[in-house]
Amino acid sequence: MKKTTQISNLSLAACASLLAAAPAAQAQSSVTLFTLVDVNVSHYSAGSRSGAGSMTAMNDGTTNGLNGSRWGIRTVEDLGGGLKAGVLLENGFNADNGTFGQGGRAFGRQGFVWLSSSTVGELRLGRQYILEDSVMGLSNPFTNALTLNPGTGVTNAGKALPLWLNAPRADNVLQVQTINYGGFQAAAQVAPGEGTADRFYGVKLSYGQGPFNGALSYEWNRSRTTGDNVNKSLTVAANYNFGVVKVLGGVQRNRDLATTSVNGAFTGNNLTVTGTNTFAMDHSDGTTIGVEVPVGSFVLLGANYTRVKYANAAGQNDTLGKVAVGARYALSKNTFLYASASQATGGLKDFVSQKGVTQIGVRTAF
């Protein structure tokens, strides 16, 4: 049974504001069933000191694709007077082998109910993306996709090692988001730990106007055992579209990393960095910069460079980066062919199983 959790005064005020906006009206409803399938073939060239061999694999789009495969149900009920309610249920599956994604969850990608007002904002309750994911999406070509994704981790001497931290979802999230005020928008998230995970918090501020888009997020966990704030993650990203080229970039700063939070910005179970020296990191700093170039109406090209420095309080540190290029060709508004390649750089490049990656894939939706 879930433990009773107190909700902040801000959240209660948001609920009250949304409910106060509701007039007596006859509801108009819509239900949408949607599906997306993305599959690619990737070749991995392992680093000489990684302990792994090179291999070719077929992957679902969750790995190096444009999007992870999914099906879902989206409902919208128009309550009148600018007030709407709805549900999003999204099941993730692995199209390469037919298994469920996200650990076998029924709706592991997303599952939440929402209530919105055109004059106040939106309230969401359930499993959903953390705020950092959309901020990171502003920093790289193709929006967190292909081998250009800064959030795609690596295998370092047999253990998973994150590049940029990117969960990218959390359970039991209450999210409040404002309407757009002259290009500015703010959002906040909180997720109770329910006795089995650390409490999770996140805030986001974004601004978009014309060719410029920028945002920052700050997320952290409150340890259920010590009460300390851990996994403190600041992400800042922006891009500017000049028409012939879009320039993108961002930075991420992570502090007091811990493996026991279970829910939130960092859900991994490994902080060991294995290179010339092996050490346990407790913080990391990442940067990324890239460009997107449209070619006609059907082709989009992209390139970027991402770098992360892993370190601890004792002064031990090492680096890992990657240079990546990619291309996407639109066969229609819903179907794309894509290809990309990346090459690892930095002190850890020979210690990762994904030193070189090349891949091609297809994505379609209906």
The predicted pLDDT at position 28 comes to 85
Q: Give pTM, 2 decimals.
A: 0.91
**Cα 350 to chain centroid, rounded:** 27
> In this structure, are residues 174 and 124 in contact, taking their beta carbons and an 8 Å threshold?
yes
The predicted pLDDT at position 129 comes to 98
Residue 184: CA atoms inside 13 Å, Cβ hemisphere, count?
4
The predicted pLDDT at position 265 comes to 86
The predicted pLDDT at position 334 comes to 97
**Pairing relationship of beta strands 317-330 and 299-311 according to DSSP bridges:** antiparallel
> In this structure, are residues 284 and 272 in contact, taking their beta carbons and an 8 Å threshold?
no
Q: What is the mean pLDDT of each run of 10 residues along the chain (366 residues)?
A: 42 49 62 98 98 97 97 97 97 97 96 98 98 98 98 96 95 98 98 96 98 98 96 98 98 97 91 97 98 98 98 97 98 98 98 98 97
CA dist., res. 140 & res. 237, Å (int): 9
347: helix, coil or strand?
coil
Torsion of CA 102, 68, 261, 256, to 10 degrees: 160
- Closest-CA residue to 141 (of 354, 327, 309, 295): 327
